[in-house]
Structure formats: C-alpha cells, structure tokens
C-alpha cells in the first residue's frame, strides 16, 4: 500500500466504494473504517448525506469518505460532503469542488489526466468489469498501468473493478495501485442496505450486462447489472437498450439534479421509465425486477455474505 493512504490515517489498502441511492450508509462505511480500511457513504440527498456522516462519526473516529456523482450533485451536496475526510467523485467533468482531499474515479487515461490537471489528490482507475456505472473500455489492471504511465511518478492511483479476494488485492498492489476499491464484494455484507432479495440474486449471479437501460435522469451512462425481468424485456439486439428508451432517458436528464419523491414502487419492468435507483432494504421488492441490480463481473466468484470488518482483514494480503 502507498504512503498517501497511510498519511490519511488509513492502515489497510482496502477502500469500500461509495454505492449511491442508499446502498452504502453509515454502518457499512463505519465498519470498514473502524477495521482499518476506508469506508465511503454513497450519494443521497444532501440532508440524508449529512445525517449518515454524523451517525458514522458516532461509530468511528477513523477517516470516512463520501461519494458524489458529479452530474447529479447540487451545491448543497458539495457543502455537506466537505465534512468528510475524503470526497470521491465520479462521472462528469473533473473539477475541484472541495478544499479537502478529493479523489476522482476515472474510466480512461484522458479523464485521469483531466482530474490530475484539475488538482485531484488521487485518481481511481475503474475498469470495465466494475459494478455500477462505468465508462471504461479497458480492464482495471490495464487501465491502472496506462494511467500510472501517464501521470507523474508517485501520484496515487487506486484500482476499482473485479477485485473479490486477497489475491486480487495483492495483484493490484503489485501493479502499483495505492489501494483496491471494492463495490460488489461489500454489497454482500450484512451492513450494506441491499434488499435481501438483491443480496440473494448477487449470491446466485453468474453473468452481468453493460447497459444504458436504467437511465431516467442519468442518460447515456453505461452501467453493469445482473439480468432481471426489465433487462429481459428491453435488451434485445442493442445491449444499451432500445433507441426509444434511450431517447426518453435523454429527455429526462434535467430530472437527475432535482430532489423528487421516490417513485420506484410504481416502476414496472415493462414501463420505459427506468430509474437508476437500486433495490435497497427500504424499497419495494418489485424493484428487484424493475430496477438495476448493479453488480461487477466478480459476482460470479462471490457467494458468501461476510461482515464488513471481517472482510477488510481477509482482503488485506
């Protein structure tokens, strides 16, 4: 592990990815940080984000991160996120919006160059195999190597995508990663807020799809998911989704920044208004078939649910 994370007070090279829409909240983030990794609270409304950070602070004195998706973030999000020790950002144009430690997740060398030029303290090389939204065309190890070659020696580059066990972490570190960032692995913990049915599908899942289907309010943003009734209904020839659905998604782009009531209980696999909100334990079970079951390719190698703190130790080589 590199010296940069150590300077932040993080002992193990394990970062739990911020998983938005309510999946990664205070318990998961606090457990990971308390165990010596870096826990991240995923994007929520500004008020909920602040409340989750306060609750996590009550559970651990160790560093905590929050994640913001740039095209969906409002001014109030940046204000609340500034209270975290690290702000991770994803998507959009890399731009420094916080005086504190800022890390941008990148899907290409050019995006990493832009983040570095914009003053990021570190970047994440996110590979194509990653769960959730990704714009990478390369695998994580390949992208890590290219980004490291493109940025000044010693600039911290973390790696996300396809990391499921200590062997994967070890390979990432040998390839020069500052730390490994894991999403799918940490969804399979009792502390994640995945709906129990979502956890079950992850345990059984073998195959993932990269699509743009669940793009209401966040269009043209490829995301990796498990197949379900909605993907069976809409994904035929074009894995991105039918042209008409993607056109509707484009029209809905301005909705992404608004704080709208949660309508996911009315979402149906056959209705072409498919939001990016994942099935959390608070949402209706119907979302298991009408919403996105975000998962990375590593899902095929994962079947056990393990406490987050135990995972931090088990993942560290």
CB of 136 to ligand FMN, least distance (A): 9
Give the residue with the Cβ less far from ligand FMN, 217 or 278: 278
Q: How far is the CB of 17 from ligand FMN (least distance, A)?
A: 3
Which residues are CB-contacts of 95 (< 8 A; sequence separation ≥ 6)? 70, 118
CA angle 34, 69, 246 (to 5 degrees): 135
By C-beta, is 20 or 272 nearer to ligand FMN?
20
Q: Between 50 and 180, whose beta carbon lies closer to ligand FMN?
A: 180
Q: Which residues contact 303 (CB under 8 A, 6 or more apart)?
A: 203, 204
Q: Using CB under 6 A, list all residues that contact ligand FMN.
A: 17-20, 23, 42-43, 67, 69, 88, 90, 105, 126, 129-132, 160-163, 181-185, 187, 278, 294-296, 298
Between residues 61 and 313, which has the closer beta carbon with respect to ligand FMN? 313
Distance of closest approach, residue 243 Cβ to ligand FMN, in angstroms: 26
Longest dimension (CA), the chain: 51
Distances (CA, A) of 100 to 47, 87, 90: 20, 8, 16
Residue nearest to ligand FMN (CB): 183
Q: How far is the CB of 67 from ligand FMN (least distance, A)?
A: 5
Specify the residue, 189 or 298, whose C-beta has the smaller distance to ligand FMN: 298
Pairing of strands 14-16, 39-41: unpaired
Burial class for 113, CB neighbours closer than 10 Å (0-12, 13-18, 19+)? middle
Query: Minimum Å distance from CB 252 to ligand FMN?
Result: 18
Q: Based on CB atoms, which residue is closest to ligand FMN, 242 or 317?
A: 317
Smallest gap from residue 244 Cβ to ligand FMN (A) = 26
29 within 8 A of 51, measured Cβ to Cβ: no
- Give 36 or 139: the residue with its C-beta nearer to ligand FMN: 139
Shortest Cβ 237–ligand FMN spacing (Å):
26
Nearer to ligand FMN, 272 or 292 (CB): 292
Give me the least distance between CB of 126 and ligand FMN, in Å please. 4
């Amino acid at each position: 592990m590199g010296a940069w994370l150590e300077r932040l007070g993080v002992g193990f090279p394990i970062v739990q990815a911020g998983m938005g829409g309510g999946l990664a909240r205070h318990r998961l983030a606090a457990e990971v940080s308390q165990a010596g990794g870096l826990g991240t609270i995923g994007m929520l409304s500004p008020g909920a984000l602040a409340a989750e950070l306060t609750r996590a602070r009550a559970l651990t004195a160790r560093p905590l991160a929050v994640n913001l998706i740039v095209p969906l973030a409002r001014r109030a999000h940046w204000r609340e996120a500034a209270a975290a020790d690290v702000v991770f950002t994803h998507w959009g144009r890399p731009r420094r919006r916080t005086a504190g430690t800022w890390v941008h997740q990148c899907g290409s060398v050019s995006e990493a160059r832009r983040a570095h030029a914009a003053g990021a303290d570190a970047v994440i090389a996110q590979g194509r195999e990653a769960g959730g939204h990704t714009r990478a065309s390369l695998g994580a190890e390949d992208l890590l190597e290219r980004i490291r070659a493109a940025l000044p020696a010693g600039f911290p580059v973390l790696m996300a995508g396809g990391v499921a066990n200590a062997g994967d972490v070890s390979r990432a570190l040998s390839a020069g990663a500052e730390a490994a960032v894991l999403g799918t692995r940490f969804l399979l913990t009792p502390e994640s807020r995945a709906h129990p049915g979502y956890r079950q599908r992850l345990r059984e899942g073998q195959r993932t799809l990269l699509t743009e289907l669940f793009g209401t309010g966040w269009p043209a943003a490829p995301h990796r998911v498990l197949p379900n009734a909605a993907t069976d209904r809409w994904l035929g020839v074009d894995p991105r989704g039918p042209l008409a659905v993607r056109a509707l998604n484009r029209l809905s782009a301005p909705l992404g920044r608004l704080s709208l009531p949660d309508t996911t209980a009315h979402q149906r696999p056959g209705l072409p208004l498919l939001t990016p909100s994942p099935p959390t334990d608070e949402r209706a079970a119907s979302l298991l078939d009408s919403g996105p079951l975000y998962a990375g390719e590593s899902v095929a190698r994962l079947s056990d649910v393990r406490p987050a703190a135990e995972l931090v130790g088990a993942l560290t080589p």
